[in-house]
Structure 1
Amino acid sequence: MFVASTWAVTLSCNNEASHSDDVTLDVGDGRKVSGITCLAKHLQRTSAEFRDVSLEDRMQVEQWLEYRLYIESLQDVESERAVLQELNSYLQDKVYFVGHSLTVADILLYHSLHRVFKHLSFHDKERFINVSRWFNNVQHDRRLRQSLTLLPFVRSPLYSGTSSH
C-alpha cells in the first residue's frame, strides 16, 4: 500500500517545469520518475536510509522541496531578498532546514540559492546572517557543491592558504 501511494504521488508530478529538472530515473516496469524534486521525494520515500526518519521530518523535507521550486521561479531582486529574509528568520535557531543533520532539502535548496548568493554583496550576506551561515556551512562540502563556485563570506582572508616557511 505504501509503495502504491508513493507511485501515485511521484508519477503525478512528472510535469514539473523547471530548468534544472531535466533528470529522469527509470524505476523499473516501464515507470520513470522525472524532475529533481520528484526524484528526491521518491528516493526519500523508498530508500532504506530514510526509514528511521520521522514522518514529520519527511513531510518537512517535502515542503522545502516544493519551496525550492518557488525559489527557482524568482525573477527579480526584491523577491529574492524577501525569500532570503524569510529563510533568515526560519534559520535563526537552526543549523539545517529539517532536524539536526543535512537532508536532501538542504542540498537542493543550496543549489537553488547559489545563483542568488553569487550576486550578494558582503553587506547583504551579513544582513541575512543566518541563511548565510547555513549556506556557507553547506557549500564547504565538495561533494555537495560539485561544480558550483565556492563563494566568499568574509571581506578579507583570515589566513592565506600558503605557508611562508
Structure 2
Amino acid sequence: GLLPRIHGSALFTRGQTQVLNACTLGVPGDVQILDGLTLEESKRFMHHYNFPPYSVGEPGFMRGPGRREIGHGALAERALMRMIPPEEEFPYTIRVVSEVLESNGSSSMGSVCAASMALMDAGVPVRAAVGGIAMGLIKEEDRYAILTDIQGME
C-alpha cells in the first residue's frame, strides 16, 4: 500500500481527479451503532467520503461533512457493500475513508475505485473488484448522447 501504518491504502487517478483511500480493520466490537426509533442496529462496513475545498482549488474552511459528502459516501458504500464478505467469513469491522485530493470529474466514482483497491490491499477477501463509472445524458428534442466517465468539461 501507499500508506505504511494502516491496513490498506490506494491512490486512484483519472485525468485531473485524484482520490486517496485508507482502509482500516477493527474487531467485531468496533461496529458503528445506529440509534433509531426501533431496535438498535449496527454497521460493520463504513465508507466515509471527504471533499475538502482545496480539491477544487478553493480556499474554504474545513468543516464537517455536508450533503455532498454524505450522499456521495452513501452511494459509494452501496456500490461496495455487495462485495464485502459475510461476517461469518470475515468477522472484522471495516472502515474505508476516501479523501478527494483533486477533482475535475466524478470523484464519487473515483472513491469507489480507490476503496476497492484499498480493501484488496488490506487483505479483505472481496468477491470481486468494483469500478465506478459516471454517466451523463445530453438530450435535444429527438436526439441524445450518452456520456460515460464524464469529466469537469461535460
Q: TM range, normalised to the smaller chain?
A: under 0.3
Q: TM-score, normalised by structure 1?
A: 0.25
Q: Which has the higher contact order (CA 8 A, sep 6+)?
A: 2
Q: TM-score, normalised by structure 2?
A: 0.26
Higher helix share: 1
Work out which of the two has the higher radius of gyration on C-alpha atoms and give 1 or 2: 1
